[in-house]
Structure 1
Amino acid sequence: MPDLFDPVRLGRLTLPNRLVMSPMTRSRADDRGVPPPAAAVYYSQRATAGLIITEGTQPSLEGQGYPRTPGLHTDAQVTAWRHITEAVHTAGGRIYAQLMHSGRIGHPSLNGLLPVAPSPLPAAGQTYTKDGRRDLPTPRELTTAEVRSTIQDFARAARRAVDAGFDGVELHGGNGYLIHQFLSPHTNHRTDPYGRDPLLFAVQVTTACAEAIGPDRVGLRITPGNTLNDITDPDPDQTYPALAATLAPLTLAYLHVGGVGPTTPLAAKLRAAWPTTLIAAPSTGGTLPEDGGRSLAEHCLTNGADLVAFGRAFLANPDLVTRLRTGTPLNQPDPTTYYGGDHHGYTDYALSTKPVA
């Protein structure tokens, strides 16, 4: 069985360990979607991770879903990200940008644009805006031509990510955002090719990005069965293995699977269908386990995963790799500082003084 601290190949990279820092929205960019200078400190502090995946980053202004999230569609954003990737690489790390188009999850008060979606079906509930929580509006249905234009937005953002010094990109295909909205019959009622084949949008976005920067620089995140943002997957055991099998010939860098138990039939189907690196992101529930999730991560490796993603454990423990290796107690994250704010709960978590054996 591979060990969490064994090296592993991912695309064109060799990772020193199998711990991945999960993408986590922190909402600290400015109103132009430019990440702050402190983000270079935040990410480089965590450079001992085998791989860092950034917070969700919109590929276009239209793709923004929350206040103060960063983008990769302007020169100013690219320049700011370049300082961040340079800091991570100087610290010895590797970093992918997660491209996240939120689709119908958003609000016109964020950017002056009505959210777009496969079909004009609003999500139940409210979302965060600069003026507090607001009801989610009915989105505008993308025309077929606009769907194709959105695919190119992803490809352009992937090229910008490479220009900004990223080692690759991850496409967010889960959590009820745009790619997931096309995959689900709950949100996709289209009658054009993107409705008749619900896999088509995800496949074409992924293919366009692979053609733009190379398939060994592209990963895809999926969250089968996740109901976040008022979405449903009525048949995830069929949809996602079919998607994996369709994308398999591209030989992408990885497939990142969120919320699927390591011993479930779906996990086995995805492992069988996927020819390259598989990252598991198992749910640890509402609280951070005492061991930081190490035992669950090792269980994932035993059952076919190549790497395991850690979220809140990395948020509160920049030196998580050292802490897990040495058995040092972990810092507990402060939920009041997750989104927005200054350096508190961002770059000021204490480091362990216990040396690595």
Structure 2
Amino acid sequence: MTSSTDGPLFTPTRLGAIEVRNRIAMAPLTRNRAIEGRVPNPLAIEYYQQRASAGLIIAEATQISPMGQGYLDTPGIYSQAQIDAWRSVTAAVHARGGRIVLQLWHVGRISHTSLLPDGQAPVAPSALPAKAKTFTAKGFEDVSAPRALALDEIPGIIQDYRQAARNAITAGFDGVEVHAANGYLIDQFLRDGSNQRTDAYGGSIENRTRLLDEVVRAVAAEIGADRTGVRLSPVTPANDAHDSEPQPLFERAVERLDAIGGLAFIHVIEGATGGPRDNIAFDYATLRAKFRGPWIANNGYAKDTAADAIASGYADMIAFGRAYIANPDLVERLRLGVALSDLDPNTLYGGGSHGYTDYPSVSG
């Protein structure tokens, strides 16, 4: 008979080159606390170190270039100052025995001219404005109309991902997660609701999955497939993401990722991001069967359902998002069966230590 301290959630495993001590991952959480130069706030050192008992921390979405930014005060990984600041974060997590990867982010059309260099328009697969809002110096505003990327600009985007991955390793991260979810740039290329291109990156599913394949291959070639993960969200409506046939689209996307060989993990948001798991019918088991590597499942899991997913072999880890904001010691709370603290929604985005590093742990 197993006790609450030695259930499947608390066993070690391996994600490619990354050894993790339990099956609980901290999902990436945008907190909008970067300082001048899109540099991580020094408070991030304590914030992530407090959560280092997670088997894997997936650090907040971090833009790969100035044009990749979509929200006020989100950090980057393209300048030396950013690399240096992130190095202090990774050192603090490693000092507690934790493992941490960085989520590489280009928002595409989910941005605003006030956030981009020289007030430029956001870039996207097609010049289709999203029905979405972003967070600017004025608060929440409608996103700006994008322009379509020219074909000859796409290699530069891929190179930005490659360089950002190298910078992340230089900053001490154990790997990266390519953000291909939640209606951001790569996801925009995947979906026929945002991609109306007629060149090699649009039209057929094969063409719409091309950028995902090329970015992940470039990152894997730069830092190793075994340190490269990918996040997908097949049926989320986040940021005006939609597709007429998500099942065959994402099955082919996962087949192409599997063909790269040896990726550290795929991380899938099931259902609507932060919302219902059953918003659109989707067969996640079939999707999972198409990938031979480690699988991280996310969205709406509780301790029992998470343990069942691990025990059945469906998933290798379960990622928790919002629960990690108010529960820096989430692993211990789940282990002991202690009630979870509630987050303060007024301190989610921006601000200082309040609602960021001052949530208590069960040990005081």
Return the offset for 1:234. 1.9
Would you say the 8 A contact 1:158–1:212 is kept in 2? yes
Would you say the 8 A contact 2:109–2:122 is kept in 1? yes
Structure 1 residue 136 corresponds to structure 2 residue 164: no
Structure 1 residue 279 corresponds to structure 2 residue 289: no
Question: Which one of 250, 253, 271 corresponds to residue 243 of structure 1?
Answer: 253
Instruction: Provide the residue aligned with 1:34 in structure 2.
Output: 39
Q: Secondary structure at the match of 2:40?
A: coil
| Bigger shift: residues 181-190 or 311-320 | 311-320
Cα 1:131/1:265, change in 2 over 3 Å: closer
Instruction: Provide the residue aligned with 1:289 in structure 2.
Output: none
Question: Which one of 187, 197, 214 corresponds to residue 204 of structure 1?
Answer: 214
Deviations 1:276-315 (A, max 9, x none): 100000236xxxxxxxx21221232236011000111111
Instruction: Provide the residue aligned with 1:7 in structure 2.
Output: 12
- Distance (Å, rounded) in 2 between the aligned partners of 1:319 and 1:17: 13
Return the offset for 1:156. 0.4
* TM-score (normalised: structure 1): 0.93
Deviations 1:181-216 (A, max 9, x none): 000011111111111410000000100000010000
Instruction: Provide the residue aligned with 1:67 in structure 2.
Output: 72
In the alignment of these two chains, the number of paired residues is 345
Give the % identical residues.
Answer: 47
Return the offset for 1:31. 3.5
Q: Secondary structure at the match of 2:208?
A: coil
Instruction: Provide the residue aligned with 1:288 in structure 2.
Output: none
Instruction: Provide the residue aligned with 2:195 in structure 1.
Output: 188
Instruction: Provide the residue aligned with 2:91 in structure 1.
Output: 86
Q: Secondary structure at the match of 1:229?
A: helix
Structure 1 runs of 4+ with >4 Å offset: none
Deviations 1:10-65 (A, max 9, x none): 11122110000000000000141100111000001100000000111000000000
Q: How does 1:148-187 map to 2 (within 5 A)?
A: 148-187=155-194
Aligned AA (1:92): G
Return the offset for 1:91. 1.1
Would you say the 8 A contact 1:259–1:281 is kept in 2? yes
Structure 1 residue 16 corresponds to structure 2 residue 33: no
Query: Tell me, which stretches of 5 or more residues in structure 2 are unaligned?
Result: 272-276
Query: Tell me, which stretches of 5 or more residues in structure 1 are unaligned?
Result: 285-292
Return the offset for 1:82. 0.4
Would you say the 8 A contact 2:235–2:282 is kept in 1? no
Cα RMSD between the aligned structures?
Answer: 1.6
Would you say the 8 A contact 1:98–1:172 is kept in 2? yes
Structure 1 residue 115 corresponds to structure 2 residue 122: yes
Cα 1:194/1:325, change in 2 over 3 Å: same
Q: Secondary structure at the match of 2:283?
A: helix
- Distance (Å, rounded) in 2 between the aligned partners of 1:267 and 1:125: 27
Aligned AA (1:39): A
- Distance (Å, rounded) in 1 between the aligned partners of 2:20 and 2:134: 37
Would you say the 8 A contact 1:226–1:233 is kept in 2? no
Structure 1 residue 308 corresponds to structure 2 residue 318: yes
